[in-house]
Amino acid sequence: MPGYQPGDADPFDEMYDPAGNIRPAYVDYCDWLSAQESNSLKRKNAEADDSFRRTGITFNVYGEDEAEERLIPFDMVPRVITAGEWRRLTRGIEQRVRALNAFLADLYHRQEIIRAGRVPERLFRQNEAWLPHMVGFTPPGGIYTHIVGIDLVRTGPDEFFVLEDNARTPSGVSYMLENRETMMAMFPDLFTQVSVETVSNYPRRLARSLAACVPPDAANPSKPTVAVLTPGIYNSAYFEHAFLADQMGAELVEGSDLRVVDGRVQMRTTSGYHPIDVLYRRVDDDYLDPLTFNPDSVLGVPGIMDVYRAGRITIANAPGTGICDDKAIYSFMPEIVEFYTGEKPLLPNVQTWRCADPDSLAYVLDNLEELVVKEVHGSGGYGMLIGPTAARREIKAFRAKLEASPENYIAQPTLSLSTCPIYTKKGLAPRHVDLRPFVLVSPGGIDLTPGGLTRVALKKGSLVVNSSQGGGTKDTWVLKD
C-alpha cells in the first residue's frame, strides 16, 4: 500500500512483514483494496460515522457532561486472523476458561489450591469481589462464568499473550456484531471476495447457552424464560444490553420490574407477574440484592439471593466471579491453569511483578520509567501508569502510591503491541491493537465465536486502546480455511 510505513520488526505489524511483503492473512483484502478508488473510501468512512449515530450505537462516558453519549470511533480496515492462528488461540482460550471455572468452584468449596500452597489465601480474603455468601453453594450446572472476555495482545507471528481476564461482566460484544454489520453494508463486494467466518449468530448462541443453564427448580424447565438485567438507560453499556435482549428475544428488565413473588423472581408485565428462570445480569454483584449486599441499591432485586440458593433462578455470571478480574489473581493464572488442567498454559501471561512482594517492588521502583503499573482492582485504563510515556511528575506521584500500598499494584513490561493498518486522511497508517474474543460456557461445553472485539489506539504511537481513553474499534475477521 502506498505510504504505509509499518516500521521494522518491532512492533510486529500484522499486515506487512519487515521486508515489505503482505502477510498471508491480508493478501485477499489487499487485492480488493488496491482496486478501490481512494475517493470512494473517503466517502464510505463518513457514511460509517453517520450510520452509527443514526442507529444510536453510543457509549456513555462517565464524567462528561457535554457529550452524554459518545461514539466509539470505528475504523473500516478489518483486523484479519488466519484460520490456523485462530485454531491455536481457541485451544488456549478454552483451556484458560476451563481453568477459571474450576478455580472459582474450588475457591468457593474446598480450596484445594490454597491447601496445596499454590495461591496464597490473603489474595482472595482481601479482595472485595470475594463473596462469602457463595461459599459451599454450587450454581446451576456448576458454571460460574457463563460469558467470559479474554483480552489478548500480540507481539509476534506466534506470540499471543493474555493481558486480562474478564469473568465478571465483559462488555463490547455488540460492537463485534455491529462492526460486522456495518462492514457488510459498506463493502458487500468485499465479502464475496474474502471468506470470513460469521459472527452474527452470537446472540443465538448466547440465548442457547443461557437456556442450557436452566436452574434445577425452574418455573418453565422446557422453555426457560431468559431476561437481561440492566442498570438502566444511563448506564454506559445500555445500548449493548438492549441490543442483546432484542437479538435474543429476551426481556430487558430493570430492578424496578422485578420482585420476589411466591419464592420466584418475577417481572411485572402488563398482564401480571411472570417468573424468570435465567437472568443475564449486567449489574455488579454489589447492587444485585439490597438484602444481602449494598442496602441502598435500587438496581437489584431484594431477596434474589435466597431464590438463587433455592435453585429457582440462574444468575449469569454467578455472583463472586469478579475475583478473577483481579490483577493479583491474574498474576497466578499460569499456576492456576496448571493446577486444574494438568497442562502447561497454551496462552502465556504477560510477565507480571506483584508489588506485594518486596523484591519485585524494589525492581519496579527502580524501573518505573520502563514499566506499566496497574491497580490490582482497576479497569478501563484508569489508575494506571505507562512509564515510557509518563511525565516525570506522574511517575513521582505513582512512586509515592506504590510505596504507600504496594499490594494494590502489579507491574508489567511495556509490551510492544502489534500494529494493524487504520484508515486516516493521509492513507493507511499502523496503530496498536488488542483483541477480546467472547466465550460462552454452559453444561453443554465451551463455545467461542470466531472473531471478537479489536480495540485500536487511534493516536499514533499510543498503547492505550480503551474506549474511555480515546480508543476505537475494528471489525475482526477470522478467515475460513
Partner 1 sequence: MMLGRTANGLFWMLRYLERAENTARLLEAGLRMALTRDLVTAEEEWRSVIATSGQQALFEASHEGYDGMSAWNFILRDKANPANVREMFGAVRSNARLARTNISSEVWEAVNESWMQLESKLARPISQSAVGDVLATIKRAATSVHGALDGSMLRDEAYHFARAGTYIERAESTARILDMKYFLLLPSLSYVGTSVDSGQWDQVLRSVAGVRAYSWLNAGQIDARSIVQFLVLDDRFPRSLAFCRSALRDNLTSLARMHGSEGDCHEIMRAADVHIAEMTVERIFDQGLHEFLVDYMARNAAIADAIAEDYRFLA
Q: Which residues bind partner 1 (CB under 8 A)?
A: 53-56, 232-233, 238, 242, 245-246, 251-254, 256-257, 259, 267-272, 274
CA dist 226 → 123, 240, 246, 249, 269 (Å): 34, 16, 12, 9, 14
Choice between 17 and 251, CB closer to partner 1: 251
Choice between 247 and 379, CB closer to partner 1: 247
Q: How far is the CB of 259 from partner 1 (least distance, A)?
A: 8
Judge residue 32's burial from the number of C-beta atoms within 10 Å of its C-beta, 0-12 exposed, 13-18 middle, 19 or more buried.
middle
Choice between 266 and 419, CB closer to partner 1: 266
Choice between 193 and 269, CB closer to partner 1: 269
Q: Which long-range contacts (CB under 8 A, 24 or more apart) does 237-240 make?
A: 237/59, 237/171, 237/282, 238/60, 239/56, 239/57, 239/58, 239/59, 239/174, 240/171, 240/172, 240/173, 240/174, 240/175, 240/282
Q: How far is the CB of 267 from partner 1 (least distance, A)?
A: 6
Q: Report the residue count for the chain.
A: 481
Choose among 433, 481, 476: nearest CA to 77.
476
Choice between 272 and 342, CB closer to partner 1: 272
Neighbours of 350 (CB within 10 A): 17
Sign of CA dihedral 325, 327, 328, 329: positive
Choice between 50 and 189, CB closer to partner 1: 50
Q: How far is the CB of 45 from partner 1 (least distance, A)?
A: 19
Judge residue 353's burial from the number of C-beta atoms within 10 Å of its C-beta, 0-12 exposed, 13-18 middle, 19 or more buried.
buried
Q: How far is the CB of 211 from partner 1 (least distance, A)?
A: 17
Q: How far is the CB of 347 from partner 1 (least distance, A)?
A: 36
Choice between 259 and 399, CB closer to partner 1: 259
Choice between 260 and 448, CB closer to partner 1: 260
Sign of CA dihedral 303, 306, 310, 312: positive
**Residue 85 CB-half CA count within 13 A:** 19
Q: How far is the CB of 275 from partner 1 (least distance, A)?
A: 11
Q: How far is the CB of 46 from partner 1 (least distance, A)?
A: 15
Q: How far is the CB of 272 from partner 1 (least distance, A)?
A: 7
Neighbours of 17 (CB within 10 A): 15
